Amino acid sequence: MKPTVHDIAKIAGVSLATVDRVLNGRPGVRSVTRGRVEQAITSLGYVRDLAAANLAKSRTYSFVFILPANDNSFMIGLHEEVRGAVARSSSERTDIRIVDVPPFDAGALVVALETVLAEKPAGVAFVAIDAPEIRAAAERLRQAGIPMVTLVSDLPDSSRDHYAGIDNIAAGRTAGSLMGRFLSGPFLAERGATVAVLAGSMLVRDHRERLEGFSTVIDQAYPNVHILPVLEGRDDPALTETMIADALRRNADIAGIYSLGAGNRGLIRALHKVRVARRPLVIAHELTASTRAALADGVIDAVLNQDAGHEVRSAIRVLKAKADGLPVLAAQERIRIDIFLKDNLP
Amino acid sequence: MKPTVHDIAKIAGVSLATVDRVLNGRPGVRSVTRGRVEQAITSLGYVRDLAAANLAKSRTYSFVFILPANDNSFMIGLHEEVRGAVARSSSERTDIRIVDVPPFDAGALVVALETVLAEKPAGVAFVAIDAPEIRAAAERLRQAGIPMVTLVSDLPDSSRDHYAGIDNIAAGRTAGSLMGRFLSGPFLAERGATVAVLAGSMLVRDHRERLEGFSTVIDQAYPNVHILPVLEGRDDPALTETMIADALRRNADIAGIYSLGAGNRGLIRALHKVRVARRPLVIAHELTASTRAALADGVIDAVLNQDAGHEVRSAIRVLKAKADGLPVLAAQERIRIDIFLKDNLP
DNA sequence: CAAATTTTGATTTACGTACCTCAGATTTTC
DNA sequence: GAAAATCTGAGGTACGTAAATCAAAATTTG
């Protein structure tokens, strides 16, 4: 039988009230007595029954998710997953609130974090922007003892407790490796190949990191692949379409395209206008309705994906654990880079 | 505030005892009264608080995991993950027992299932063998109302409630697609290429399915790739090593190897003895210490993996849900095929 | 040494559900 | 219409923990 507080009281020769005071760090216990109780706790190997404790406290975990009001499919999907978690709230003892902020706006994110700080929730998840003022705001939240998880985009060297997202450098490396291997042959041969990179904005950390990983692998392992200057499409379909169309017109020898940002609809539209035989090899990020269709059609060759549902559920698990002072299962919380070819689409 | 049984009693104008009788399907309630109570339940949107209920019942979920006592790295890792779950038992209200059975032995598995049936656990997970007598045993478990999950290897068209493992046909297709794309170029050109397939045993369903997926893609999309007759290494390192060495000697033009079974140590040893310039392209399954090292060394080019930890945790979540008659989150429980290149090793 | 303060014990209620007993009411059966 | 069977209500205890109250004991302070 699992030991209970009653067993501790009996062994330590104190009352339930004293055990409770020790367990919950309440004042009014002499240090000798506290020692006896702690001794009993360790000797019995007592672990508090979280379910019973939460029941007694009639506790609900109040979490806040701060999400950019982006209109690309990935962010919309992320929103949906959070709403799904809200729907499951009652059976998971959580009370999740969504706060929308304008995208790529550090000032707005700071304001949101400050507002959240004021209401002292049990935890906060947010899509970080890599800026010093965000780090400062995060530090204030940490001082207030509010667990924090960054979602999708990280804030390294900050006070966040955890990052629920993929390793973007590794994602870029993977894309580079696939690009190099897929190109070796039909295009590359001895004469080399040209590759275009399409990003949303180089101001965003994830995009910079993906590019970094991609370039590293290409430079080291595929020296005769030449990377063109990065195209920044601001994740905007219309802009992206014209940029890609232009690029393909100017550089007739583009053999591959790595789209490391969101908003691939424009890219796909531009690709559909290219003669099949002359289509470049394309690697993109995020499995959405449009990239999935393009993958099935053969317009896109590979898609690297992060599962928004997993990220949201992981963030919630981690926030709960942090709120309870419990350890997290690192292996369970590692968000993986999914590689989809048209043959392993779920 | 979430409605409780007390609210139901008040609304329906009955006592707590009657509500309890309705909720738990106990006898002794006239159908008119039962109707009133059920009406109140739906109108309030009542959902039973599982944590409180389990506390009151002082319930623990007793699960049995039946695992083949295989000595390959993957199965050893699977064992370890289940042991990890056993270690977490106390805080998860589970009581997990591991039953070892000899591998590839349908008779022994039937005996194990029958023994398990006798002790009526709250759920069973097992690595299935695709045989009619196993289906019959599974049907008996279902009749007894014991939730069942197949692990790693499925038993389609049976009474199992869920399969916690990857889609092996899709895995084979993915391997075929990678093989075809990677080969197109340095080897393939116009003259075609020869590929060897190494399996454990064609009697095992997963291996058959992987081969099926692989062959389909190669035949359809890469007609000038020629697949040699399957080598069955029985997942035995020594045997595998000699088989691969022999095959490479006899067929000097082997451009690729697809190892779809476990026990890759022998394969790797054989590959290390081949001159670097003449090494074939290799795609293997399961990320273990040896395949990881081989991937880093460039001896293996890609590894398809299923995460044993995820499979075990998923099986437990599903068994719990089935035991409670709750729905499962399909998206959360889908086990993904991880593709590892040397650039995205975790 | 008395008064004030701190520490401790004993007891109680609560969380939401399960499950038990017993008495009283209602319905069914003969 | 009485006896038997069936339903229903009221009340309690339990699960393991939290948290509150109040009194008693021990300690410190003036």
pLDDT in tens, A305-337: 999 999 999 999 999 999 999 999 999 999 999
What is the pLDDT at residue A191?
66
Residues in Cβ contact with A49 at an 8 Å cutoff, skipping those fewer than 6 apart: A2, A4, B55
* Res. B28: pLDDT tops 80: no
Residues in Cβ contact with B131 at an 8 Å cutoff, skipping those fewer than 6 apart: B106
Average pLDDT of chain A? 91
Distance CA A159, CA A140 (A): 9
Helix (H, G, I), strand (E, B), or coil: what is residue A227? Answer: strand
Q: Can you say whether residue B325 is alpha, beta or left, with left for phi > 0 and alpha for psi between -120 and 50 degrees?
A: left
Q: Which of A102-116, B22-36, B216-230 has the lowest mean pLDDT?
A: B22-36
What is the pLDDT at residue A344?
83
- Asked if residue B260 lies in contact with residue B214, where contact means CB atoms within 8 angstroms, the answer is yes
> Smallest Cβ distance to B184: which of A186, A332, A341?
A186
What is the pLDDT at residue A343?
82
Q: Is the CB of B33 under 7 A from strand D?
A: yes
What is the pLDDT at residue B33?
81
Q: Which of A31-40, B108-117, B278-287, B322-331 has the lowest mean pLDDT?
A: A31-40
State which nucleotides on strand D lie below 7 Å from a protein beta carbon.
Answer: 6-12, 14-21
What is the pLDDT at residue B150?
97
Going from the C-alpha of B22 to that of each of A325, B31, B33, B43, B50, the distances in angstroms are 39, 10, 9, 15, 17
Residues in Cβ contact with B241 at an 8 Å cutoff, skipping those fewer than 6 apart: B266, B267, B269, B270
Model confidence band, residue A66 (pLDDT cutoffs 50, 70, 90): very high
Going from the C-alpha of A303 to that of each of A204, A258, A287, A339, B149, the distances in angstroms are 20, 10, 6, 6, 31
Helix (H, G, I), strand (E, B), or coil: what is residue B9? Answer: helix
> Does B2 touch chain A if contact means CB atoms closer than 8 Å?
yes
* Res. A200: pLDDT tops 60: yes
Helix (H, G, I), strand (E, B), or coil: what is residue A304? Answer: strand
- Asked if residue A103 lies in contact with residue A126, where contact means CB atoms within 8 angstroms, the answer is no
Query: How many CB pairs below 8 A link A and B?
Result: 89
* Res. A187: pLDDT tops 90: no
Average pLDDT estimate for A275-293: 92
Token couple for A140: 């204030």
> Exposure of A327 by Cβ count < 10 A (0-12 exposed, 13-18 middle, 19+ buried)?
exposed
Please report which helix (H) or strand (E) contains residue A144, including its range: none
B57 CA from C29 C1′ (Å): 39
Token couple for B270: 């054989």
What is the pLDDT at residue B277?
80
Average pLDDT of chain B? 91
More confident residue, A221 or B263: A221
Sign of CA dihedral B207, B210, B214, B215: positive
What is the pLDDT at residue B187?
46
Pairing of strands A302-305, A338-340: antiparallel
- Asked if residue A20 lies in contact with residue A26, where contact means CB atoms within 8 angstroms, the answer is yes
**Widest Cα–Cα separation across chain A:** 85
What is the pLDDT at residue A263?
77
Model confidence band, residue A186 (pLDDT cutoffs 50, 70, 90): very low
* Res. B186: pLDDT tops 60: no
Q: What percentage of chain A has pLDDT greater than the value 90?
A: 68
pLDDT tens by residue, B260-309: 998 799 999 999 999 888 889 999 999 999 999 999 999 999 999 999 99
Half-sphere CA count of A224, side-chain side, radius 13 A: 11
Helix (H, G, I), strand (E, B), or coil: what is residue A274? Answer: coil
In chain B, which residue's Cα lies nearest the Cα of A47? B91
Token couple for B139: 């049907």
> Smallest Cβ distance to A54: which of B51, B91, B343?
B51
pLDDT tens by residue, B48-102: 999 999 999 989 999 999 999 987 889 999 999 999 999 999 889 999 999 999 9
- CA-CA-CA-CA torsion for A108, A109, A114, A115, nearest 10 degrees? 70
Q: How many CB atoms lie within 10 A of CB B39?
A: 13
* Beta-bridge partner residues of B197: B258
* Res. B27: pLDDT tops 90: no
**Neighboring chain B residues of A343 at a CB cutoff of 8 Å:** 170, 173-174, 176-177, 213, 217
pLDDT tens by residue, A117-151: 999 999 999 999 999 999 999 999 999 999 999 99
Helix (H, G, I), strand (E, B), or coil: what is residue B339? Answer: strand
Pairing of strands A231-232, A254-259: unpaired
pTM for this structure?
0.93
Distance CA B275, CA B219 (A): 29
Distance CA A42, CA A37 (A): 9
Pairing of strands A162-164, B123-126: unpaired
What is the pLDDT at residue A142?
96
In chain A, which residue's Cα lies nearest the Cα of B305? A338
Token couple for A243: 């940029």
Q: How many CB atoms lie within 10 A of CB B202?
A: 12
Distance CA B284, CA B278 (A): 18
B55 CA from D12 C1′ (Å): 18
> Does B306 touch chain A if contact means CB atoms closer than 8 Å?
no
pLDDT tens by residue, A150-161: 999 999 999 999
Q: Which of residues 10-29 of A touch strand D (CB under 7 A)?
A: 16-17, 20, 23-24
> Does B48 touch chain A if contact means CB atoms closer than 8 Å?
no
